[in-house]
Amino acid sequence: MSEDTRPDWDTYFISIAAEVAQRATCPRAQVGAVIAKDHRIISTGYNGTAPGEPHCTEAGCLMENNHCQRAIHAEVNAVCQAAKFGLSVDGAELYYWDSLGRPESCHNCIQVMKVAGIRTVVSMNKKGFIRGTLLKDLE
């Protein structure tokens, strides 16, 4: 494979996020997240329930204000997965893929990512990649 046929980093990580989304257990949307630091994957997440809890596909969605309360969002799952294994996400990038084509994370997920130190979120829409900076020059 030549250098010009290899996917760039955004394409590579977004395609992995799309694959991770296939594990989602909420039928309302399939969302995947990949957290990368220095071009290395440190965590992934998809929208689904906490370990040991019944999945939406088994027990149905637990709806409140038009949002499923049973499923944990992919972005939060990815941050929590990194924390569980003692991996810092400070300064990392989060790649976000949503089957419904929503270009950005919800307010609560953005707040969690900010607190965890995620610096940049990369998503995709029909026009291409969307790169958003969450934290600016905190040093």
Give catalytic status of residue 19 as yes or no.
no
Q: Which residues contact 33 (CB under 8 A, 6 or more apart)?
A: 17, 20, 44, 45, 46, 74, 75, 77, 78, 94, 95, 96, 97
Question: Which of 3, 53, 58, 75 is the catalytic position?
Answer: 75
Report the C-alpha gap between 134 and 23 in whole angstroms: 27
Strand ordering across the sheet containing 93-98: 40-46, 31-37, 93-98, 120-125, 128-133
Angle at 71 between CA 67 and CA 73, to 5 degrees: 85
Active-site residues, by number, are 75
